[in-house]
């Protein structure tokens, strides 16, 4: 069946442009007022404005191509799907009250996902993800890095904190 003429091989509602609902009032009458690439070109950041009368709120959305990420092999041998929200929450916890923008966090997340996809593997050990997170946090904020490392590596006493801080001071940040 041809897509020219009256007969379409898909429902006609697929041809309508999708609109973003306003998170403040729920209206679907919004417009994009600014778009720019972020996260090294891995995402599009869009500023939007609600056109509903009486609302007019502005909000930000991030658009990312959805590509399949490898499954994770946990230390106990169990397997689970990659969970971006869990990754984001862990990094946000480490970065809490630190001077790191949402854009820089999103760029770090995009970089981690890019590296995971680049392995070409269908499954990766969760330890690989942990090390990637530590590398990104080290570049973003050393305090956040130490916070994450203390939980991830299960520091037991102050000496382990000192050793990690000393190592951090000696070694250059890996790019």
For 137-166, write each residue's pLDDT tens digit: 999 998 998 888 888 777 888 888 788 888
pTM summary value: 0.59
> Do strands 79-80 and 71-73 pair parallel, antiparallel, or not at all (unpaired)?
antiparallel
| Structural domains of the chain, with CATH | 18-65 (2.20.25), 66-175 (no CATH)
146 close to 76: Cβ distance less than 8 angstroms: no
Q: Evaluate the CA torsion angle 70, 72, 73, 75 in order and state its sign.
A: positive
Q: Evaluate the CA torsion angle 143, 148, 153, 157 in order and state its sign.
A: positive
Beta bridge partners of 32: 48
pLDDT digits (tens, 9 = 90+) for 19-68: 789 999 999 999 999 999 988 788 899 999 999 999 999 999 988 876 78
């Amino acid at each position: 069946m041809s897509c020219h003429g009256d007969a379409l091989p898909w429902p006609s509602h697929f041809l309508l442009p999708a609109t973003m609902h306003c998170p403040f009032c729920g209206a679907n009458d919004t417009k994009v007022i600014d778009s720019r690439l972020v996260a090294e070109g891995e995402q599009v950041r869009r500023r939007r404005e609600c056109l509903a009368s009486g609302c007019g709120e502005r909000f930000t959305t991030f658009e990312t191509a959805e590509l399949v990420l490898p499954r994770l092999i946990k230390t106990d041998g169990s397997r689970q799907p990659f969970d971006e929200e869990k990754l984001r929450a862990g990094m946000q916890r480490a970065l809490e009250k630190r001077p790191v923008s949402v854009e820089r966090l999103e760029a770090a997340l995009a970089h981690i996902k890019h590296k995971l996809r680049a392995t070409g593997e269908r499954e990766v050990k969760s330890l690989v993800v942990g090390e990637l997170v530590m590398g990104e946090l080290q570049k973003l904020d050393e305090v956040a890095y130490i916070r994450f490392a203390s939980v991830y590596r299960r520091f037991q006493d102050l000496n382990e904190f000192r050793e990690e801080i000393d190592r951090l001071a000696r070694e250059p940040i890996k790019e």
